[in-house]
């Protein structure tokens, strides 16, 4: 597990300037890059403004993420940690159950500016036009078919990052399907999807490519960290890190999908080392350390 000094965090963090009420579609401004913010869902309750906010999901499992923070946007069904400088999410996170996948809400493709962001931090649909990149969902639309409100929330531009078509329509789409398989098999999961800028030696760097008049940064890699829970209460963790330049699209076959998703799997511990985030630290330390250091053998497919 990535260790971060709490004393150091307290020294660096300034106060959070507004409180969060889940279900209210508004931003939570975090001052300080090392601020610590917890997440998942606790419907209908407010929380005091401090540097260790706790948003609890329906299973009461505390899921906190340490690492760089921008503006936190509560979209009711998912949380966006938005990088205002580069105009893409640091990460998007949500709790999901098998029942949540049963909806029938249709895609409207209503891509639109997130008006809750400052004007100089907004990305726009036109930034992506003729850029060579797709508007890649971080919270995928297919995970939010439970109702129209949830579906349309995924088309806010604050939920997008530039992805190559080969990634977005290829192995990334396959990975999203595999994650749904995990949810169906386990029953519930906590999913964190994000973007980084990384050199070939796995060191983080500043972005080198931008698109549109708004200069939206193009990530070099996209990642997922996933915590699943079985009916018997046991957990598994999965992590994936995929480059934003990927093999050409090929015929979608079970064997190919398995090979590609496994090729880009890694331990959560390694993903933490690369990204600088600390995922799921509110789990019992012995359990967390055990889960973070292994890659589960099962990657359900249908």
Q: What is the pLDDT of residue 65?
A: 79
> What averages of pLDDT result for each successive group of 10 residues across the chain (302 residues)?
38 29 36 34 30 35 67 89 96 93 95 97 98 98 96 98 95 92 92 95 96 98 94 92 74 58 90 93 85 83 49
Go through the domains of the chain in sequence order and give each one's CATH number. 6-292 (3.40.570.10)
Identify the burial level of 281 via C-beta atoms within 10 angstroms of its C-beta, where 0-12 means exposed, 13-18 middle and 19 or more buried.
buried
Residue from 150, 42, 136, 41 nearest 103 by CA: 150
Bridge partner residues of 226 (DSSP): 191, 238
Q: Which two tokens stand for residue 82?
A: 């938005």
Q: What is the C-alpha separation between 113 and 174, in angstroms, rounded? A: 27
- From residue 73, alpha-carbon distances to 78, 136, 159, 220, 250 in Å are 9, 18, 10, 23, 36
Residue from 117, 105, 35 nearest 77 by CA: 105
Q: What is the pLDDT of residue 38?
A: 38
pTM (two decimals) = 0.80
Place of tokens 């098999």: 185
CA end-to-end span of the chain: 32
Q: What is the C-alpha separation between 260 and 279, in angstroms, rounded? A: 24
Q: Which two tokens stand for residue 76?
A: 């009711």
Q: What is the pLDDT of residue 139?
A: 97
Pairing of strands 52-53, 36-39: parallel
Q: E-strand spans in the chain?
A: 20-21, 27-29, 36-39, 46-47, 52-53, 63-66, 71-74, 79-83, 88-97, 134-137, 160-163, 188-196, 210-211, 216-217, 221-229, 235-243, 265-266
Q: What is the pLDDT of residue 48?
A: 29
């Amino acid at each position: 597990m990535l260790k971060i000094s709490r004393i150091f965090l307290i020294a660096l963090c300034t106060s959070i300037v507004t409180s969060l009420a889940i279900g209210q579609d508004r931003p939570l401004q975090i001052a300080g890059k090392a601020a610590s913010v917890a997440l998942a869902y606790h419907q209908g309750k407010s929380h005091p403004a401090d540097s260790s906010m706790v948003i609890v999901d329906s299973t009461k499992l505390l899921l906190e993420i340490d690492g760089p923070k921008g503006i936190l946007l509560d979209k009711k069904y998912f949380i966006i940690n938005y990088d205002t400088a580069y105009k893409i999410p640091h990460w998007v996170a949500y709790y999901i159950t098998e029942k949540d996948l049963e909806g029938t809400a249709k895609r409207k493709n209503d891509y639109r500016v997130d008006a809750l962001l400052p004007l100089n931090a907004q990305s726009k649909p036109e930034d992506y036009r003729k850029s060579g990149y797709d508007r890649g969902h971080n919270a995928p639309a297919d995970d939010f078919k439970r109702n129209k409100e949830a579906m349309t929330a995924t088309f806010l531009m604050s939920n997008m990052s530039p992805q190559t078509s080969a990634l977005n329509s290829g192995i990334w789409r396959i990975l999203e399907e595999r994650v749904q398989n995990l949810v169906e098999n386990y029953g519930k999961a906590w999913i964190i999807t994000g973007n980084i800028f990384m050199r070939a030696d796995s060191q983080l760097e500043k972005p080198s490519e931008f698109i549109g008049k708004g200069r939206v940064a193009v990530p070099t890699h996209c990642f997922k960290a996933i915590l699943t829970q079985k009916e018997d209460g046991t957990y598994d963790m999965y992590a994936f890190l995929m480059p934003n330049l990927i093999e050409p699209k090929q015929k979608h076959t079970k064997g190919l999908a398995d090979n590609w998703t496994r090729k880009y799997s890694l331990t959560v511990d390694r993903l933490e080392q690369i990204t600088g985030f600390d995922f799921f630290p509110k789990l019992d330390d012995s359990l967390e350390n055990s889960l973070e250091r292994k890659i589960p053998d099962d990657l359900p497919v249908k």
